[in-house]
Amino acid sequence: MSGLRWSVYFIGLVIFSLGITITINVQHLGLHPWDVLNVAFYEKFGLTIGSWAIIFSVLLIIVSWILDKSYIKVGTFLNAVLVGAFVDLYMYLDFLPKATHTWTDILVMIIGIIVMGIGGGVYNAGGIGSGPRDGFMLSISDKTGMSIGKVRIITETIVLIIGLLLGGPVFVMTFIFTFIQSPIFQFTYVGLKNYIEQLEEKNKKKLTA
């Protein structure tokens, strides 16, 4: 893997984690199902939100490893550890907007979701490895024959129910999160992936010239 791809990957994780933390600060509007789970466990059992993110990511990696090792790469392990660590770091630094319980919280939430979409697109474009959740869903899809979309819906529904039962922050934004994040992720991922490939192709031509 080139230094460019590693740089893009790490920058993406930093951005993605920033987006997660922004949304957590206005969690009363509702969070993504996985973050609902992380916050619920944090509030119920202690530790930190980032710690629970790491714990659940490692559990997903173990299941994926048992089902299909091909989806587990170095980047998958780094994602599992670094996203949680960065979220805790941002929470500790405490420089992001706090909830005001006014209309501005909606704006902050939307910005957070957009930042998550961009960050997710960026780190995936690096091609270093899929995240623990994506690897898990791909391995389940391969083993069961279900579509990735169906596996995602079932998995996130189960995660959401557990988080809800534990008192996690479920509200309106929980159910429209994906509709905002997915197109931004797709646009960023495709655009940056193509750009990286073009740069690599140019470098190859220079080396062979």
Distances (CA, A) of 194 to 28, 121, 131, 190: 37, 12, 20, 6
From 40, 26, 35, select the one nearest 156 (Cα to Cα): 35
135 compared with 92, residue with greater pLDDT: 92
Q: Which helix (H) or strand (E) holds 171?
A: none
pLDDT tens, 124-174? 888 888 889 888 888 888 888 888 778 888 888 899 999 999 999 999 999
The domain of 125 spans 3-208
Q: How far apart are CA 110 and CA 104, in angstroms?
A: 10
* Model confidence pLDDT, tens digit, residues 170-191: 999 998 887 888 889 889 988 9
Q: Provide the number of structural domains found in the chain.
A: 1
